[in-house]
Structure 1
Amino acid sequence: MRSRVRAAGHAVHPMLMVFPLGLLVTAAVFDLLQRITGGSDWAIAAAYTMAAGVLGGLVAGLTGWADWALSVPKGTRARRVGLVHGAINSLVLALFALSWVLRLGEPGWAPGWTAVIVSWLGALLLGVGGWLGGELVERLSISVDEVAQPDATSSLSGHQQRFRAARA
């Protein structure tokens, strides 16, 4: 089932989601390092990394929502899994936003234990949401090109573009 939100022959959501995934997990690690070492640089790095991750997650989430709404057939397991995937990842963004707000105004952006626990809860749930995203692609063939195979031509190839146009 082909994604409707595409760029250069590929689905946009998988390209974008790697950034918030990496940023948010890194922010949670920075939080823990700050609590262990007391270093203010870790707290500042966590706050900025977290903010970038939440903003990036909103953009990636919008592209995922568009794919789910436009490409995934209603009444299918993929539709249900996609809904749970989106809901969990929305909760993740809310948790990281809350963690960011909890440190807002603190000297040196230093997070208290509540902010750290909230960010780690978000990071753990991010793993669940990511697994469901993998289930959508690997098991339910969402966003997989119907002509995919080990020797397929490049998605930028004119030959493949004509082949797709002929099949449509």
Structure 2
Amino acid sequence: MYSKVKIFGHPVHPMLVPFPIAFYTATLICAIVYSAQGDTFWFQAAYASNVAGVVMALVAGLFGFIDFVGIPSGTRAKKHGYQHLIFNSGAFLLFALNLWLNSGQWDAAAPDMRFGFILPLIGVMFMLAAGYLGWTLVQTDHVGVESATPEERYAETHRATKFR
């Protein structure tokens, strides 16, 4: 099973997923630091990271959904794809809720970060589960990987190199 959307032969979804991962992780770290120190810089950093994470999750999710639709029904890969979709949707909803709860506080002298870092922590746990399932889709189910015969793989890795 191969990826439906590619740029120069490389699947787009795996190129985009590091962005929400990094931004969601930054949201959690900045929220923890803000909860400990109370410096508004950390609230603003958490909020900005949260916005970027939600936006990039939508972009990555769009390309992931296109790949998901291409997985044949009734396969183990489709089952893992559903699970991956559910955990990613859960993470997205938790970070979107966190964003909504903290909206309008950018310029506040002492922002009230409702639920502190609890929502980002649960969101990151969902993201980790989704990441494991994404890894399973690639490594076990070979989604997004063009299949080659063992002979083709051997020939590719043992190709003779000419030196001049």
Task: Please tell me the root mean square deviation across aligned C-alpha atoms, in Å.
Answer: 1.9
Q: Which runs of 5+ in 2 are unaligned?
A: 158-164
Contact kept, 8 Å, 1:100 with 1:115, in 2: the verdict is no
Q: Which has the larger radius of gyration?
A: 2
Cα offsets for 1:90-128 (capped at 9, x unmatched)? 111110011111111232583535142111110111000
2:42 aligned residue: 42
Cα offsets for 1:64-115 (capped at 9, x unmatched)? 0100102x11100110110110111011111001111111123258353514
Bigger proportion of residues as helix: 1
Aligned mates of 1:150, 1:22 — CA distance in 2 = 36
Say if 1:79 and 1:100 are closer, same or farther in 2 by CA, change over 3 A: same
Contact kept, 8 Å, 2:102 with 2:114, in 1: the verdict is no
2:80 aligned residue: 81
1:151 Cα offset (Å): 6.9
Say if 1:143 and 1:80 are closer, same or farther in 2 by CA, change over 3 A: same
Cα offsets for 1:7-45 (capped at 9, x unmatched)? 111110000011011111111110001111111111101
Say if 1:109 and 1:102 are closer, same or farther in 2 by CA, change over 3 A: farther
1:19 aligned residue: 19
1:152 Cα offset (Å): 4.1
Aligned mates of 1:66, 1:43 — CA distance in 2 = 35
Aligned mates of 1:117, 1:43 — CA distance in 2 = 14
Aligned mates of 1:110, 1:43 — CA distance in 2 = 7
TM-score w.r.t. the length of structure 2 is: 0.86
1:143 Cα offset (Å): 0.6
Say if 1:74 and 1:108 are closer, same or farther in 2 by CA, change over 3 A: farther
In structure 2, give the amino acid aligned to 1:130: G
2:134 aligned residue: 133
Q: Which runs of 5+ in 1 are unaligned?
A: 154-168
Percent of residue pairs identical: 33
TM-score w.r.t. the length of structure 1 is: 0.84
How many matched pairs?
152
